[in-house]
Amino acid sequence: MKTVLYMAIAANGAVANHQGGTPWGKASWQNYIRATNAAGNLIMGRTTYDVMERNGEFDPFDPKVKLFVVSSHPAPPKAIAEFVATPAEAIKRLSDFEIIMVAGGPILATSMLKANQLNEIHLDIEPIILGGGVPLIPNQLERHLTLLDIIRYDGGITLKYAVEKAS
């Protein structure tokens, strides 16, 4: 079992524009949907869930994909995901899967990086600059990465890194 943070980022490192929007190309969305459907699961922060739910962005996912939301609040009525209080709980519940997908956003990603809960980071580098946008890691944090792979797709590249554990 390994945990993989999979995010699309602009060429300047932003994961969303200043309004929280994610104007990624079709190919990047397809990469993300394909990877999530293949993994069979997805963990996300509460804000990301709200945005994706509101925009109908779960529609292309295989209905069998297990969706987990990390939140200190209970699930709203009609939630299409299970709500858990910590990333550790979601990881435990998904421990039978070979790959556990983590969608972000930055608050969840940062907390999991700090807690050594991410094994790999996969980034689709999109051909766009989102000045003043939302940074991938909003807090001061340093982690060494090992480059595992570079994959070219229509309009961008996916960089795959292993995350070195903090001592």
Ligand X SMILES: NC(=O)c1ccc[n+]([C@@H]2O[C@H](COP(=O)([O-])OP(=O)(O)OC[C@H]3O[C@@H](n4cnc5c(N)ncnc54)[C@H](OP(=O)(O)O)[C@@H]3O)[C@@H](O)[C@H]2O)c1
Binding site for ligand X (CB under 6 A): 7-9, 15-16, 20, 22, 44-48, 51, 70-73, 86-87, 103-108, 111, 134
- Judged by beta carbon, residue 91 or residue 108, the one nearer ligand X is 108
Shortest reach from residue 80's CB to ligand X, in Å: 16
- Judged by beta carbon, residue 22 or residue 41, the one nearer ligand X is 22
**H/E segment holding residue 4:** strand 2-10
Dihedral sign, Cα of residue 79, residue 107, residue 27, residue 14: positive
Shortest reach from residue 73's CB to ligand X, in Å: 4
Beta bridge partners of 163: 145
**H/E segment holding residue 153:** strand 145-153
Shortest reach from residue 47's CB to ligand X, in Å: 3
Furthest-apart CA atoms within the chain: distance in Å: 42
- Judged by beta carbon, residue 15 or residue 94, the one nearer ligand X is 15
Q: State how far the Cα of 26 lies from the Cα of 155, in Å rounded to an integer.
A: 9
Q: State how far the Cα of 27 lies from the Cα of 153, in Å rounded to an integer.
A: 7
- Judged by beta carbon, residue 45 or residue 156, the one nearer ligand X is 45
Shortest reach from residue 114's CB to ligand X, in Å: 9
